[in-house]
């Protein structure tokens, strides 16, 4: 799982079967110092609550589809949690 | 599996139900030379602490098998704390 920041939304009415009701958000992956790293990706929102500007963590590859109500849907990134806090270093 | 170092923790209240009962740790992954090779957020099942060198399993089916579940969006799990690491006959520092 990786950290990311929600930077936008994707609206699509016509979707493949199994993705009805799934929200898609544009996320910018972050490194552990919370700086942007790599390219933005579109991720399904499995927590249904992630919003613009929030820090989230997401799972990639086949495991992303496991987070959604219908399994084996063609999704390769899914937001699985909203971050309250990140502690780096001793005392974490 | 990969070798990494626990760098910190992630605190999260809102998440998929599966993650409710698990600690999440941020781990720096080491390459074969001991240099950093990115990071990953892992589920901890061995009570690893910050600063420790750990063994990370980064594969979904094995991760689900460890947690005893058939489905679930998890992939990276800390499965061991490393006591000793030897590469090409040279002992590496582990913490």
Judged by CB atoms closer than 8 Å, whether chains meet at B60 and A91 is answered as no
Residue-wise pLDDT for B56-88, tens only, equals 999 999 999 999 999 999 999 999 999 999 999
The answer to whether B2 touches B59, Cβ cutoff 8 Å, is no
* pLDDT tens-digit series, residues A39-79: 999 999 999 999 999 999 999 999 999 999 888 899 999 99
Residue A19's domain comprises: 2-82
**Which CATH number does the domain B2-86 belong to among 3.40.630.30, 2.40.50.220, 3.30.465.10, 2.60.210.10?**
2.40.50.220
pTM above 0.90, yes or no: yes
Percentage with pLDDT > 70 across chain A:
98
Q: Using CA atoms, how far apart are residues A18 and B22, in angstroms rounded to an integer?
A: 28
Q: For chain B, which residues make up each domain, given as ranges?
A: 2-86
Question: Least CB-CB distance to B60: which of A62, A81, A86?
Answer: A62
Give the C-alpha separation, A86 to B93, whole Å.
26
List helix spans (H) across B1-95: 60-67
Q: Looking at the partner chain, which of A3, A47, A90 has a beta carbon nearest the beta carbon of B51?
A: A90
């Amino acid at each position: 799982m990786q950290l990311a920041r929600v930077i936008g939304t994707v609206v699509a009415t016509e979707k493949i079967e199994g993705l009805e009701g799934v929200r898609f958000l544009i996320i910018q992956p972050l490194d552990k110092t919370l700086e942007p790293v790599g390219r933005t990706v579109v991720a399904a929102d499995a927590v249904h609550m992630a919003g613009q500007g929030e820090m989230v963590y997401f799972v990639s590859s086949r495991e992303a589809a496991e987070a959604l109500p219908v399994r084996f849907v063609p999704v390769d990134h899914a937001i699985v949690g909203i971050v309250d806090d990140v502690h780096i270093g001793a005392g974490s | 599996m990969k070798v990494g170092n626990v760098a910190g923790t992630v605190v999260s209240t809102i998440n998929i139900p599966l993650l409710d009962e698990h600690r999440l740790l941020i781990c720096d992954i080491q390459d074969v030379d001991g240099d950093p090779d990115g990071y990953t957020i892992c589920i901890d099942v061995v009570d690893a602490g910050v600063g420790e060198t750990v063994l990370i399993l980064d594969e979904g089916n094995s991760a689900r098998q460890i947690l005893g579940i058939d489905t679930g969006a998890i992939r990276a799990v800390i499965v061991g704390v490393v006591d000793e690491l030897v590469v090409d006959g040279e002992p590496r520092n582990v913490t």
